[in-house]
Amino acid sequence: MSIGEKLKECRKNASLTQEELSEKLCVSRQAITKWESDRGMPDVGNIQNISKLFGVSIDYLLDDGENLLNSVIKETINIDDYEKIGGCRSRYDAVVRTKYQQARIIYPLIRRKKLSLIENIIDFIVQPGVLQVADSLNDMSAYYLVELEQKQLLVNVTKQLIESRELNCKFTEKKIVIGNNVFKKISYTI
């Protein structure tokens, strides 16, 4: 559901007309019409005011259902403190296995950038694959899908940090798009 659809739903649930809402937010009725039809978006101040007025979170308003992540947990690590053991193929695997011993299953993931149309054209003209290589050289960290009893986590491990984010929707297929990234499961598990 888009921010415009959510705004319209909140307004109707509060039994307000566009005119009444515009008065409460100190904007024009045309602005409300633009926002509700997704031809424009409220600025940060108006999003905060809408959130307060209707008693909904800003996250709710901005979450358009495209697999957004929540509950970020960051923890500092030293990759050299971990050794490859058991089914771990790297120290990064060992970090995740140690951190999530209670996990039902852990999938290593391949991350690639989701290219825009213009980036795809440039990539094709310059040398197919060159933008993906440049992006992967820019991000040398490891990604994992960790399945716990009731939730799934997207885990990113660098040499100094492990970052875990709870997924809003289930990663059930072989790949998933989150933001500007495409994540694909590798065939083995750790």
Domain with CATH 1.10.260.40 in the chain: 3-62
Domain 3-62 belongs to what architecture? Orthogonal Bundle (1.10)
Q: Give, in order, the Cα–Cα distances in Å from 171 to each of 62, 64, 151, 176.
A: 21, 17, 10, 7
pTM to 2 decimal places: 0.59
Q: What is the pLDDT along the chain (190 residues), one digit of tens a residue?
A: 788 888 898 888 888 899 999 999 999 999 999 999 988 888 888 988 998 888 777 777 876 555 445 567 888 999 989 988 877 888 999 999 999 988 999 999 988 888 788 888 888 888 888 877 777 777 788 999 999 888 888 999 999 999 888 887 777 788 888 777 889 998 888 8
Structure-token pair, residue 96: 């995740």
- State the Cα–Cα distance between residues 106 and 155, nearest whole angstrom: 10
41 Cβ contact partners less than 8 Å away, ≥ 6 residues apart: 3, 35
